Amino acid sequence: MALTVVTRKNFLPTTQTPFVFRSRHAGTIEWEDIIDKCAAHHTTVTKADCLAVLTVFAQVLEELLLNGNRVKTPFAEFAVLAAGCAVSQNAVFSPKSNADSEKGGHRFELKCVIPAAFKRRVCANVSYTQEEWQDGCRPRLDSARINGLLPEQTDGTLCGGDVLAVYGRRLRFDGNDGEQGVFICDAKTRTTVRAGCCVLSQGTVCIVRVPDGVNLPLCEAVIELRSRPNTLGLRRARLCPLRE
């Protein structure tokens, strides 16, 4: 497993480049996972030994911080800092929890600083894979309405002439390309028809007219949006079935 680097459109007003790099993590490692990995690294150290040492470490770290110490470790430096505003030099410091304090309220904050050497070592050796841009443009379908109604509010059939609205993200395509658009698929017979009279709105809503001749139970109806965001291939997003 490795970190995944993806390309996204840039909406930041502070930079002028059209795209930015972002990352997607391989997963989340919990406390128990760390203990298992520590035990697996040393044949003479058991899982119970690792659990005991790390538990004591966490307790000692908390105790030292509560007593006002700045604590340095190989991977991070911890300290409790006072924060807040005062109207006079002789004002009394009355800390509140961050959840209850107003802006500028008296409070304590826990500071964690990563040592530069540790940061450089990790950043210089991290393993990663880069995801191609067309995956970042992949459309996504979330829900649909038929003649303004949710699928469960209808009689359970999709018919020719119905107005179908699909909702999602990145719903953009070239209507002049016969391979792109909104397609209605029969999950049972595998037949597919392309919907017409398309209206797109902000890339989040697509409204189409169901072609004449369609008479399909919603439990067998599959809505598929096909788009070609670049020259690298056709991207598909499915919403199925419309109704259980």
pLDDT digits (tens, 9 = 90+) for 141-183: 888 889 888 888 888 899 999 999 988 877 888 888 888 889 9
Any domain includes 147: yes
User: Are 29 and 121 members of one domain?
Assistant: yes
User: Are 68 and 97 members of one domain?
Assistant: no
Any domain includes 125: yes
User: Are 46 and 92 members of one domain?
Assistant: no
Any domain includes 151: yes
Any domain includes 37: yes
Any domain includes 202: yes
How large is the average pLDDT for residues 112-138?
A: 82
Q: Find the helix or strand (DSSP H, E) in which 79 lies.
A: strand 77-83
- Kindly list the strands in the beta sheet with 19-24, ordered across the sheet, starting from the edge strand earlier in the chain: 19-24, 3-9, 128-130
Count of the separate structural domains present in the chain: 3
Any domain includes 186: yes
Any domain includes 161: yes
CA-nearest of 50, 46, 57 to 32 is: 50
- Chain centre to alpha carbon of residue 137: 14
- Chain centre to alpha carbon of residue 218: 30
Residue span of the structural domain in which 122 resides: 3-76+114-131
Q: Specify the CATH number for the domain of residue 217.
A: 2.70.50.70
172-218: pLDDT as tens digits: 888 888 888 899 998 888 889 999 877 877 778 889 999 998 988 88
**Helices 31-41/47-66 angle, 10° precision:** 120
